[in-house]
Amino acid sequence: MMFKKILKKITPLFLLYQWKKYNRKKEQRRLRKLKDDIVDYLAHIPPQDRTGEQQATLDYFKNHPFSVFPYPFTENYNADDIVVHTDNEKKMHYVLRDNKRLYFRNDWDESSVKVAYHMLLIEQDAASPHRYETDEFHVCEGDIVVDAGVAEGNFALSVIEKVKKLYLFEVDPAWIAALEATFAPWKEKVVIVNKYVSDHDEGDCITLDTFFGNEEIDFIKADIEGAEPLLVAGAQRLLSARRPLKIAICTYHRQHDAETLHQMLQEKGFRTAFSNGYMVFPYGKYLTPPYLRRVLIRATKFYECSFA
Mean pLDDT along residues 256-279: 95
In the three-class reduction of DSSP (H, G, I as helix; E, B as strand; rest coil), residue 83 is classed as coil
Cα–Cα nearest to 245, from 258, 232, 254: 232
Is pLDDT at 1 greater than 50 in this prediction? no
Can you say how many angstroms the Cα of residue 77 is from the centroid of all Cα atoms in its chain?
18
- Cα dist from 70 to 38, 63, 261, 277, whole Å: 11, 11, 24, 9
Is 305 a residue whose pLDDT tops 60?
Answer: no
Query: Mean of the per-residue pLDDT values for the chain?
Result: 90
Average pLDDT score over residue span 24-38: 90
> Is the pLDDT reported for residue 259 higher than 90?
yes
Q: Where are the domains of the chain?
A: 20-66, 136-276+293-301
Could you read off the pLDDT of 229-242 as tens digits, one per residue? 999 999 999 999 88
Mean pLDDT of 5-18: 49
Percent of the chain with pLDDT over 90: 83
Alpha helices in the chain (DSSP H): 2-10, 13-43, 52-63, 110-123, 154-159, 173-182, 208-212, 228-233, 236-240, 257-267
Class of domain 136-276+293-301: alpha beta
What confidence tier does 6 reach under pLDDT thresholds 50, 70, 90? Answer: very low
Provide mean pLDDT across the span 131-160: 97
pLDDT of residue 284: 67
Question: Mean pLDDT throughout 261-267?
Answer: 97
* pLDDT in the model for residue 20: 63
Q: Residue 18: pLDDT above 80?
A: no
Task: Judge whether residue 74 has pLDDT over 90.
Answer: yes
